[in-house]
Amino acid sequence: MDFCFVHAADLHLDTPYEGVGAASPEVAAALREASLDAFDDLVRLTLDRKAAFLVLAGDIYDGAERGVRAQLRFLAGLRRLSEAGIAAFVVHGNHDPVGGWPGLREWPAGVRIFGSEQMEVATVERHGEVLARVHGISYGRREVTENLALGFHPEAGPGFKVAVLHANVGGDPAHGSYSPCALADLTSADFDYWALGHIHQHAVLHEGRPWVVYPGATQGRSLKPSERGAKGACVVHVEGGSVREVEAVAVDRVRFAGLEVDVAESDDIGGLRARLQAEAERLRGMADGRGMVVRAVVRGRGGVHADLRCGGGVDGLLRDLRDEYEGERPFLWLESIRDETRAEISLDVIRARDDFSAAFVRRVDDLLAEDGGPEGLVAALLAGGTPPKVSSAAPTFSVGEATQILEEARAIALDLLEEQADTCA
């Protein structure tokens, strides 16, 4: 029989979003509701697609001491699914191990919360036939460092075989090493689909039997790179006993994003503001009507670098852009503008001056012209010697590599020297 099911993870219901919306009551209010509203949309997606079941692969809550509001919202959503005849299978992860405080002890029919002692199996039936067998295990404590995947073995019999696991596959350094395992541990087991949780970005680690999939979080939680962009769930389409398609569907309510602008393309503060606004609008157009929290970074070299240090500079630009979007729906909140610009540097102009920077540039020119050239100079500096007496144990470089090192070092030094010369006319 053909069917679909929904795979989601890392709901982090009622996550606090500390500090993100501190300067805007409207944004703070939207963030307080975002994870709960995203769960409501997940339930709605499951109902709209007439899914056979919903799989939730851990971190339902943001902490072991889950709030009453989060638990009641979770219960209400699962009740809606149960009333529609849709089963729900839940494992708990490192954020919400089963040992945490449970305000709820009774669940609607069709809801199965897997225990933490060993892998458990539940079946999904349709018209008296087994449609799927869902295997899972919860975390009994936060610090689960053993490889739980090794304990997964599919139950014999008919039905599409799903394994539900909250784990770090392949040692992703951006996430905690909870239940670490190798991809080979999963692909060697006789399952059709691994429903994973823990990594907040959607990723298909293996296509074909078995599919190994992270759906990502249902709602971004901060401006960290892993929390930016669309967040949601996967609708898994099964035909003839095999996965035909894994469809990623966004359910997030507030989207986090970052933008970068190069000041080399702006003549003044007005031009930079226009480019920042244009990039913000581009991101907004991709968010499908969602509220947005955006962090901007300005980089590159140009005359605007000095302008950003005068008259309130970056802070004034940030306030002006926030005023631009105040009261708009959906909201766009510019969290910050980070100034990583550098002053324009013309070596020829500096050489013609009579100051310390000019003397420094001319000295570097002389060093590069000495015996051994840039390669000898860099090797000598790294070896602790002085040209031309280079230690035989000194590292070796190609001329191109050595020249690049010296040019970068010269640029860093000049940035520091010229920064002191920046003044507001």
For residue 134, what pLDDT is reported?
98
Ranges 15-29, 348-362, 390-404: which has the least confidence? 390-404
d(CA 323, CA 321): 5
Ranges 78-92, 285-299, 373-387: which has the least confidence? 373-387
Q: How do beta strands 160-166 and 232-239 pair?
A: unpaired
For residue 401, what pLDDT is reported?
72
d(CA 201, CA 151): 25
Spatial contact of 186 and 212, defined as CB atoms under 8 Å apart: yes
pLDDT bucket at 22, cuts 50 / 70 / 90: low
For residue 419, what pLDDT is reported?
67
Nearest CA to 418 among 341, 366, 363, 365? 341
For residue 374, what pLDDT is reported?
63
Q: Name the residue type at position 291.
A: G
Burial category of 205 from C-beta neighbours within 10 Å (exposed 0-12, middle 13-18, buried 19 and up): middle
Q: Where do the domains of the chain lie?
A: 3-250, 254-342, 347-419
What is the arithmetic mean of pLDDT over 36-49? 98
Spatial contact of 305 and 266, defined as CB atoms under 8 Å apart: no
What is the arithmetic mean of pLDDT over 248-256? 97
What is the arithmetic mean of pLDDT over 237-247? 96
The set of residues, in sequence order, having a beta carbon less than 8 Å from that of 403 and lying 6+ positions away, is 368, 374
For residue 390, what pLDDT is reported?
47
For residue 108, what pLDDT is reported?
94
d(CA 314, CA 269): 10
3-state secondary structure of 369: helix
Query: Which carries the bigger pLDDT value, residue 405 or residue 178?
Result: 178
Ranges 37-46, 184-193, 317-326, 407-416: which has the least confidence? 407-416
Maximum Cα–Cα distance for the chain, whole Å? 91
Spatial contact of 186 and 210, defined as CB atoms under 8 Å apart: yes
CATH superfamily of 3-250: Metallo-dependent phosphatases (3.60.21.10)
For residue 172, what pLDDT is reported?
75
What is the arithmetic mean of pLDDT over 185-198? 96
What is the arithmetic mean of pLDDT over 237-259? 96
- Enumerate the H helices of 2-67 as residue ranges: 25-48
d(CA 392, CA 319): 57
Q: Name the packing angle between helices 68-83 and 25-48 (round to 10°).
A: 20
For residue 89, what pLDDT is reported?
98
Query: Which carries the bigger pLDDT value, residue 100 or residue 148?
Result: 148
Tokens at residue 69, please?
A: 């509001």
d(CA 47, CA 81): 7
